[in-house]
């Protein structure tokens, strides 16, 4: 550590669970951080809505005027508030005046990355956001930097802990989605309003960010095909089990020639797949690149301390850049790839049907698949008196062809019920 070096001044916006952990680490690791940065890091102020809720923070640090704090003499703005406005405006102001920004705000980045990067570019400031995707797991830096000399083809992972907890529990107990969600809320694994998690919005934001940096193109949350887990039934779980599979909410980013496809939906994966054993609130992401082959990253995807670890790593990097005069990577969107709608993306379906147990039913169902150019990979039929259970797993085909096939099959008189339809991944 260089003695007497001018401190790097940091403004913090927000002080919830993550913010409190960031403050704790800034304090407990102060000497180490100074040694790694080459100058001490000084907390200049913390903008909060209700100062009286933070009695443990020295009062001279607290302010309700985030705008004034951002415009004051600080070098770096750390944002752990969340939400779009007023944060977007504050961060654009900060970046335009040359202040570097470290943010954990996935929703903001998934919608307004272009604005933020443009503001950063205009003033030569840094924009870092490791904490916005998969908490403590280093993922943004490996994709933006480690694999910058490679061509990434696919990113697939579990990036939402709440839904992973719920699906793991449904798999273990056989209970319904509604019961399991209640249990998750009781245990603190689901928010009072779980919409962002269970409907896949959180995962879609992360998928948009991952796709943007992996494929050097702009992908926003609106470009992401999204299905949540609310429609997953005990029958789906049971069907998956029968086939040696389990159900996970996956974020999948694919490069297909000169376009990208980004989707979030529940999918059956084999129980032997490395993602199958990712339980509870953990996250894990697979990356496939031309030269590097398959890589996997695993760790805690949320929580105050893990997220704060990612924020601090970014803070050290941008503070080092301030001290050394360098800059981190800016937006890389030169590839300008188009986004392929889910209808055209090749997927595979698992379909469980309750059908009449009589001659000719299998052949008539199979002919519907054939009519839609959907090739069947595996089929099993089990009689149960007058009914039979018919399970079909397809080869890959355009998603719209698979959907039309299922719609058509559902309307057949010999098909009593479509018990489960689920995409299949990871084989």
Using CA of residue 335, residue 339, residue 344, residue 350, what is the dihedral sign? positive
CB of 105 to its own copies, least distance (A): 18
CA–CA gap between residue 94 and residue 181 (Å, rounded):
39
Among 190, 316, 337, 339, binds its own copies (CB under 8 A): 316
From 92-100, 109-117, 149-157, 387-395, span contacting its own copies (CB under 8 A): 149-157
- Cα torsion for 230, 231, 237, 243, to the nearest 10°? -130
Q: Binding site annotation covers 183?
A: no
Structure tokens at 299: 């760790």
CA–CA gap between residue 266 and residue 236 (Å, rounded):
10
CA–CA gap between residue 255 and residue 148 (Å, rounded):
16
Q: Which residue has the tokens 């960031």?
A: 22
Q: Restricting to residues 168-227, name those near its own copies by CB under 8 A.
A: 216
Q: Restricting to residues 323-362, name those near its own copies by CB under 8 A.
A: 324-327, 329, 332, 334-335
CB of 36 to its own copies, least distance (A): 5
* Separation in Å, CA 73 to CA 8, 181, 320, 326: 10, 46, 18, 20
CB of 123 to its own copies, least distance (A): 14
CA–CA gap between residue 25 and residue 32 (Å, rounded):
10
Does position 149 interact with its own copies (CB under 8 A)? The reply is: yes
Among 8, 13, 33, 91, binds its own copies (CB under 8 A): 33
For the chain, give the number of residues.
427
Q: Binding site annotation covers 15?
A: yes
* Separation in Å, CA 21 to CA 16, 154, 307: 9, 33, 9
> Residue 114, preceding bond cis, omega within 30 degrees?
no
Q: Which residue has the tokens 């149960």?
A: 384
Q: Which residue has the tokens 């990712």?
A: 278
Does position 121 interact with its own copies (CB under 8 A)? The reply is: no
CA–CA gap between residue 368 and residue 310 (Å, rounded):
51
Among 30, 230, 292, 412, binds its own copies (CB under 8 A): 292
* Separation in Å, CA 228 to CA 119, 177, 198, 250, 374: 33, 11, 5, 10, 25
Q: How far is CA 337 from the centre of its chain?
A: 20
Nearer to its own copies, 14 or 228 (CB): 14
CB of 17 to its own copies, least distance (A): 12
Nearer to its own copies, 25 or 353 (CB): 25
Q: Is 6 a catalytic residue?
A: no
From 143-151, 227-235, 248-256, 380-388, span contacting its own copies (CB under 8 A): 143-151
Q: Binding site annotation covers 19?
A: yes
Considering the candidates 2, 6, 99, 206, report the single residue annotated as catalytic: 206
Does position 147 interact with its own copies (CB under 8 A)? The reply is: yes
From 107-115, 251-259, 261-269, 289-297, span contacting its own copies (CB under 8 A): 289-297
> Residues comprising the binding site?
13-20, 106, 191
Residues within the interface to its own copies (CB under 8 A): 1, 21, 25, 29, 32-33, 35-36, 130, 136-138, 141-142, 145-151, 216, 274, 277, 289-300, 303, 305-306, 308-317, 320-321, 324-327, 329, 332, 334-335
> Residues comprising the binding site for NADP(+)?
13-20
Which residues carry out catalysis?
206
């Amino acid at each position: 550590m260089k003695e007497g070096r001018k401190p790097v001044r940091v403004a913090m916006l927000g002080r919830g669970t993550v913010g409190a952990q960031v403050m704790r680490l800034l304090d407990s690791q102060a000497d180490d951080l100074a040694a790694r940065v080459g100058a001490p890091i000084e907390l200049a102020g913390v903008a909060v809505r209700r100062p009286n809720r933070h009695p443990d923070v020295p009062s001279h640090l607290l302010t309700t005027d985030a705008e004034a704090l951002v415009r004051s003499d600080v070098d770096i703005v750390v944002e752990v508030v969340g939400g779009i406005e007023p944060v977007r405006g504050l961060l654009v102001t900060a970046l335009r005046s040359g202040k570097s920004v470290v943010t954990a705000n996935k929703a903001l980045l998934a919608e307004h990355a272009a604005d933020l990067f443009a503001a950063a570019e205009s003033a030569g400031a840094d924009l870092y956001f490791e904490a916005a995707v998969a908490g403590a797991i280093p993922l943004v830096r490996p994709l933006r930097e480690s694999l910058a000399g490679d061509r990434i083809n696919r990113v697939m992972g579990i990036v939402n802990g709440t839904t992973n907890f719920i699906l793991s529990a449904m798999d273990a107990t056989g209970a319904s989605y509604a019961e399991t969600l209640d249990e998750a809320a009781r245990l603190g694994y689901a928010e009072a309003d779980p919409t962002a998690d269970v409907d896949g919005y959180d995962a879609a934001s992360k998928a948009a960010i991952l796709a943007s940096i992996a494929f050097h193109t702009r992908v926003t949350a609106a470009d992401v095909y999204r299905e949540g887990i609310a429609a997953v039934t005990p029958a789906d779980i049971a069907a998956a089990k029968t086939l040696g599979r389990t159900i996970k909410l996956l974020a999948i980013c694919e490069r297909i020639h000169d376009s990208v496809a980004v989707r979030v939906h529940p999918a059956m994966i084999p129980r032997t797949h490395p993602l199958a054993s990712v339980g509870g609130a953990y996250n894990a992401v697979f990356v496939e690149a031309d030269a590097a082959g398959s890589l996997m990253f695993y760790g805690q995807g949320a929580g105050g301390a893990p997220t704060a670890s990612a924020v601090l790593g970014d803070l050290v990097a941008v503070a080092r850049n301030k001290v050394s005069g360098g800059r981190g990577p800016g937006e890389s969107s030169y590839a300008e790839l188009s986004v392929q709608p889910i209808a055209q993306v090749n997927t595979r379906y698992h379909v469980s049907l309750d059908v009449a147990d009589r001659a000719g039913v299998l052949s008539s169902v199979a002919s519907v698949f054939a009519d839609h150019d959907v090739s069947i990979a595996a089929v099993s039929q089990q009689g149960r008196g007058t009914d039979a259970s018919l399970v079909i797993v397809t080869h890959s085909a355009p998603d719209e062809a698979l959907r039309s096939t299922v719609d058509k099959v559902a309307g057949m008189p010999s098909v009593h019920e479509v018990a489960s339809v689920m995409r299949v991944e990871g084989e």
